[in-house]
Amino acid sequence: MKQLILKDFRANWQYLLMSFGVLFTISTLFIYSMLEYQGRADPDLILYFLQVMMTSIFFSLLFFKVDEMYNTNEIFVSLPVSRSQIVKARYVNTVVYVFIAIIIHFAGSQFGIFIHNGSQNSELILLYNPSLWGFVFLSALIIGAYSMPFYFKFGINKGVLVVFVIHFLFVVFVITLIINMNGLWSDVQKALMSIIKISNTILIYSYISIVMLVVLISTLISVKIYKNKEI
Amino acid sequence: MTDNILEISNLSKSYGDFSLDNISFSLPKGYIMGLIGPNGAGKTTIIKSIMNLIMKQNGDIKIFGKDLSKFEIEIKKRIGFVYDTPNYYEHINLKQLKNTIAPFYENWDDDIFYNLVERFELPLNKKLKNFSKGMYMKSSIILALSHNAEFIIMDEPTSGLDPVVRRELLDFFKELIQDENKSILFSSHITTDIEQIADYITYIAKGKLVFSETKDDIFERYSMVKGGNDLLNEETKKCFVAIRSNDYGFEALSDDVINTRNIFGDDVIYQRATLEDIMFFTNLKNKSNN
C-alpha cells in the first residue's frame, strides 16, 4: 500500500505544486483584501476558515481527477495490489493532502499579513488558534469522508455533481424546516450553546472520535463499492 | 503441478445484450496463444476477467495453477500486461513512469528496462503525451517485461500500428518466446499477426468459444474448397461450415478435410484456409443461423 500512497505524490508532484500555489495565493489574497478593504477581521475570518475548509477538500480531489483524466484505473488495478489497498491509499492521501493544504493556507495567510503589514490587528488572533485550525482540518475530513464513496461509485465528475445535489437538497431541507417550524432555530441555538458549554477537552475528543468513525465507515463503504466496480 | 499456465473453465459474463457464454480453454506453459474473433466477440472481456478488471458471473480462472480469486496479488506479480490503449499519466516521461510502476514489483530489473528502451529507441525524457501510438505500445511492452513476468497478457497490441512497428513487435514476440519459461496470451482481430506467432489459437465469436486448438491442428482440419455450383446439393452442402457462391462457382470452408475429399475427390480445388477465411465463414454461418 505504501507504493500506492507514494505513486500519487511521485507521479503528480507538478499538479500538487500547482494546487498548493493556488491555495497559498487564495489565502494571501483573502487576508490581504480583508485587511485592505475593511481594516478589521471579523466577520470575514469565519468566511476565511470556511474557504480554507472547502478549498482544501476540493483540491484534494486532484488525485481522483488526474486518475480519471488519464483513465489510469485499468493500469493500477492490474498491478499486484488489491482493490481494498487502492481505496485505503486514496483515503490516506486525502488526509495527507488536506493536512498539507491547511499548512499552506496558514502560510498564505501569514504572507498576506506580512505584505499588508497588518500584524497589529487584534482580530487576527483567531488565525493563531490551533484548535480552530484543527476543527477546520477535521471538518474538511468529514466532508471528504461522506463524499468519497460517491466518487468511487460514479467517478469524480458525476460524483461531484451528486454530492453537490445532496448538499443543495440538505440546505433546502434545513431552510424549509426553519421556515415552517416555529422555535426550531432557537432550539438549535440553545442546543449549540449547551454543547459549547461542555469542556473543551471533551468536545475535542468527541469530535475527533466522530470524524474517525465517519472516515472508517466511509472507507468500508468505498472498499465495498470499488471491489465490485467494473473497470 | 500443472503444466498449464492458464486454465479458464466455464467463464460467463453478461452485459446488456452481450454475453460471454461458458468459455473454457487452457494454455500450456511456454507457448503463445492467439485469441481471435471479430470486434465485440468477447476477447477484451476475457482478458479483463483474467486481470480481474471486471467481475465474472460464473466460472474459474487459474493462473500458474492457482485460483485467481484467492491469489490475485501473488499471481499479478508474475504477470505482465499490455492493453489496447495503455492509459498512463501523460504529463510524465518514460523514466518517471518507470519510477512510478517499478516499486510495485519485487523482481523489477532496471537492466532489462534500459536494454529494451535502447533496443526500441525510446526517449526517456520526452513526455508521454508526445509519444506516438507505436512508442506508447513499446513502452507498455517494456513495462510488462521488466519485472521478469512469466505470463504476458496482451490485448490488441498491434492494432492501429504502422506495418513497420507491427513487424518489429511481432519479431520481438517471437524472440521472447524462445525463453521457455514465458507464455503469451495475445488477442487480436488481425489474423495475420496471430498466424505468424501463435502456437495455439482460441477463436471466440459472439461470446461463444468456436475452438481452442493448436495452430497445426486447425490448419490440418480446415480447408477452403472451390468448385462448380453443379456439385452442390443438400447432402454435399453438409460438408461445409458455410458456402459463398456466385454464377461462376462456389467457395466454401470445410472443417473436415478428409470427409470432404471422400465426397468431392479431385472435382474441386483445395486451398489452405487462413484464419481470416475461418473467421469469415464461421461468421457467415452464425448469421445464417440467426
Residues in chain B within 8 Å Cβ distance of A74:
53, 83, 87
B126-158: per-residue pLDDT in tens?
999 999 888 888 899 999 989 999 999 999 888
**Residue A181 above 90 pLDDT?**
no
- CA-nearest residue to B98 within chain A is A11
Residue A36 scores a pLDDT above 60: yes
Q: Cell for A3?
A: 507504493
Closest C-alpha among B145, B2, B107 to residue B62: B2
For residue B1, is pLDDT > 70? no
Chain A CA closest to residue B82: A75
pLDDT band at A202 (very low <50, low <70, confident <90, very high): confident
Q: Do B89 and A230 touch (CB under 8 A)?
A: no
Predicted confidence band of residue B166 (pLDDT cuts 50, 70, 90): confident
pLDDT (tens digit per residue) in A149-171: 999 999 999 999 999 999 899 88
Q: What is the pLDDT of residue B101?
A: 93
Percent of all residues in chain A with a pLDDT value above 70, rounded to a whole number: 95
Residue A71 — left, alpha, or beta (φ > 0 → left; ψ -120 to 50 → alpha)? Answer: left
pLDDT higher than 80, residue A71: yes
Cα–Cα nearest to B176, from B200, B202, B215, B146: B146
Residue A15's CB: how many other CB atoms inside 10 A? 18
User: What pLDDT does A43 receive?
Assistant: 58
Nearest CB to B100; choose among A10, A74, A231: A10
**Band (A195; pLDDT cuts 50, 70, 90):** confident
* Overall pTM surpassing 0.95 (yes/no): no
Section A24-44 average pLDDT: 78
Total structural domains within chain A: 1
- Tell me: pLDDT of A138 over 80: yes
> Model confidence at A140, in pLDDT bands (50, 70, 90)?
very high
Q: Cα dihedral angle (A122, A124, A125, A129), rounded to 10 degrees?
A: 170
- State how far Cα A63 lies from the chain centre: 14
- Domain range for A73: 2-227
So what's the pLDDT on residue B2?
A: 53
Does the beta carbon of A77 lie under 8 angstroms from any beta carbon of chain B?
yes
Closest-CA distance of chain A to residue B101, Å: 8
Of A6, A143, A9, A153, give the one whose Cα is nearest residue A68.
A153
Considering only A11-25, A28-42, A133-147, which range has the smallest mean pLDDT?
A28-42
pLDDT at A105: 95
Give A70→chain B minimum CA distance, Å.
6
B51:A77 CB<8 A: yes
Averaged pLDDT, A75-95: 94
Per-residue pLDDT at B6: 95
Alpha-helix residue ranges (DSSP H) falling in chain A = 2-11, 13-37, 44-59, 62-69, 73-78, 83-116, 130-154, 156-180, 184-197, 200-227
Asked if B188 and B194 touch (Cβ cutoff 8 Å), the reply is yes
pLDDT in tens, B221-264: 899 999 998 888 888 888 899 999 888 999 999 998 888 998 88
Chain B residues in contact with A82 (beta carbon < 8 A)? 72-73
**Is residue B46 over pLDDT 70?**
yes
Q: Which residue of B has its CA nearest to A73?
A: B87
The yes-or-no verdict on residue A38 having pLDDT over 80 is: no
A166-175: per-residue pLDDT in tens? 989 988 988 8
- B100 Cβ under 8 Å from any chain A Cβ: yes
Contact B64, B75 (CB under 8 A): yes
pLDDT of residue B200 exceeding 90, the answer is: yes
- The pLDDT tens digits for A207-228 are 899 999 999 999 999 999 999 8
